[in-house]
Each structure stands twice: as C-alpha cells, then as structure tokens.
Amino acid sequence: MKKYILISGLIIILFLPCVSSAENETINERLIRVEESVKSLDSRLTQRIDDTNKQIDLLRQDTNKRIDDTNKQIDLLRQ
C-alpha cells in the first residue's frame, strides 16, 4: 500500500512542474495579447484626440471668420 502511495506521490510531483510551466506560458501569452490591445487602444485614442483637435481648430477658424465678418458688417452699418 505504501508502495502505491509513494509511486502516486512521485507521479504527482513530476507532473506539477509541467502543469505550472504550461500555465506560465498561457499567462505570458495573455500578457502579450493584453499589451497588444493596450497599444492598439492607445494608438486609436491618440488618433481620435488628433482628429478632435483638428475639428476644434477648424471650428475656431470658422468662429473667428464669422466674428470678423460680423464686425465688418457692423462697421459698414455705422458709416
């Protein structure tokens, strides 16, 4: 009986490092996927911020042009 327990224990002890290294590999693969996802999200966010800044600049230019046009019209009406 002790012989079977000893053999079973040895098999389990030999099997544990294989399982733990397989788990580490999957964890590393997951970390790589997470890093790639974060990089992708960061680049998309950066692109969206750049696009938003361009739109804001265009809106400022348009607003400034309208203000200038309005001021010119007011000046013409005062004359």
Looking at the predicted structure, is the pLDDT value of residue 33 above 90?
no
User: What does the domain layout of the chain look like in residue ranges?
Assistant: 1-78
pLDDT of 8 > 90? The answer is no
Give whole-number Cα distances, 52 to 20, 32, 49, 61, 64, in Å.
47, 30, 5, 14, 18
CA angle 65, 69, 72 (to 5 degrees): 140
Report the chain's mean pLDDT, rounded to a whole number: 85
Decide: helix, strand or coil at residue 79: coil
Q: What does DSSP assign to residue 1? A: -
